Amino acid sequence: MSSSYKFLAATSCALLFACGSEEAPTSTATPAPEPAATESVAANTAAETAAPELGSFGIDLSHQDADIKPGDDFFRYTNGRWLETFELPASRSNYGSFAVLGDRSDQRVRTIVDDLASMEPAAGSIEQKISDYYLSYMDVETLNELGISPLLPGLAALNEIETREDLITGFGRAQIDNTASPFGFYISADRADADRHQLTLSIGGIGLPDRDYYLEDTEEFIKVREEYVAHITRILDFANIENSAEKAEAILSLETQVAEHTWPRSQRRNRDLTYNPMSYEDFKAEYAGLDWDSYFAAAGVQGLTDLNVFYPSAMSPIIDLVNTLPVEDWKSYMTYRFITDSANVLSEEIDQEAFHFYSTVLNGVPEQRERWERGVARVGSLGSLGEAIGQIYVQRHFPESAKAQMDDLVENLRTALRQSIEQNDWMGAATKEEAYKKLEAFRPKIAYPDEWEDFSSLDLSRDSLFQNAQNVREFNYADEISRLGEPTDREEWGMTPQTVNAYYNPSFNEIVFPAGILQPPFFDPAADLAVNYGGIGAVIGHEMGHGFDDQGSKSDWQGVQRNWWTDEDRANFEALADALAEQYSAFEPVPGYFIDGRFTLGENIGDVGGLSLAYRAYKMALNGEEAPVIEGLTGDQRFFLAWAQVWRRKYREDALIQRLTTDPHSPSEFRVNGVVRNFDEWYEAFDVQPEDKLYLAPQDRIRIW
pLDDT beyond 50 at 4: no
Q: How many angstroms separate the CA atoms of 359 and 370, rounded?
A: 14
Could you tell me if residue 158 is inside a domain?
Answer: yes
Question: Is-cis flag, bond preceding 521, omega within 30?
Answer: yes
Mean pLDDT of 354-360: 97
176-234 pLDDT, tens digit each = 987 889 999 999 999 999 999 999 999 988 999 999 999 999 999 999 999 999 999 99
For 69, the 3-state DSSP assignment is coil
pLDDT beyond 50 at 588: yes
Could you tell me if residue 3 is inside a domain?
Answer: no
Could you tell me if residue 306 is inside a domain?
Answer: yes
228 DSSP 8-state letter: H
pLDDT at 180: 86
Per-residue confidence band for 401, with pLDDT thresholds at 50, 70 and 90: confident
Per-residue confidence band for 2, with pLDDT thresholds at 50, 70 and 90: very low
218-268 pLDDT, tens digit each = 999 999 999 999 999 999 999 999 999 999 999 999 999 999 999 998 899
Could you tell me if residue 451 is inside a domain?
Answer: no
Cα angle 176, 179, 180; round to 5: 120
Per-residue confidence band for 18, with pLDDT thresholds at 50, 70 and 90: low
pLDDT at 134: 97
pLDDT at 117: 87
Residues 6+ apart with CB under 8 A from 347: 143, 144, 146, 147, 148
pLDDT at 22: 46
- Interhelix angle 567-585/601-621, rounded to 10 degrees, is 100
- Structural domain harbouring 162: 152-371
pLDDT beyond 90 at 23: no
Could you tell me if residue 586 is inside a domain?
Answer: no
Residues 6+ apart with CB under 8 A from 514: 447, 448, 493, 495, 496, 497, 498, 499, 500, 501, 502
Burial class (CB in 10 A: 0-12, 13-18, 19+), 303: exposed
How many CB atoms neighbour CB 571 within 10 A? 11
Q: Residue 236 sits in a domain of what CATH number?
A: 1.10.1380.10
Per-residue confidence band for 564, with pLDDT thresholds at 50, 70 and 90: very high
pLDDT at 67: 96
- Interhelix angle 312-324/164-177, rounded to 10 degrees, is 130
641-657 pLDDT, tens digit each = 999 999 999 999 999 99
**β-sheet bridge partners, residue 95:** 650
> Across the chain, what does the average pLDDT equal?
92
Q: How many angstroms separate the CA atoms of 186 and 477, rounded?
A: 10
pLDDT at 39: 27
Q: What is the DSSP string of 240-303?
A: T-TTHHHHHHHHHHHHHHHHHTSPPHHHHT-TTTT--EEEHHHHHHHTTTS-HHHHHHHTT--S
Q: What is the DSSP string of 450-482?
A: SS----TT----SS-HHHHHHHHHHHHHHHHHT
Which stretches of 93-239 are assigned E, i.e. beta strand?
A: 94-96, 183-190, 193-203
- Overall domain count for the chain: 1
Mean pLDDT of 462-477: 96
Could you tell me if residue 227 is inside a domain?
Answer: yes
Q: What is the pTM of this model?
A: 0.90
pLDDT at 298: 97
pLDDT beyond 60 at 40: no
Q: Are 134 and 379 in contact (CB under 8 A)?
A: yes
HEC profile of 589-624:
CECCECCCCCCCHHHHHHHHHHHHHHHHHHHHHCCC
Could you tell me if residue 385 is inside a domain?
Answer: no
> In this structure, which long-range contacts are made by residues 85-92, counting pairs with CB atoms below 8 Å and at least 24 apart in sequence?
86/650, 88/650, 88/652, 90/365, 90/366, 90/367, 91/22, 91/365, 91/366, 91/367, 91/368, 91/369, 91/370, 92/22, 92/365, 92/369
Q: How many angstroms separate the CA atoms of 611 and 92, rounded?
A: 29
Mean pLDDT of 479-492: 95
Could you tell me if residue 33 is inside a domain?
Answer: no
67-113 pLDDT, tens digit each = 999 999 999 999 999 999 999 999 999 999 999 999 999 999 999 99
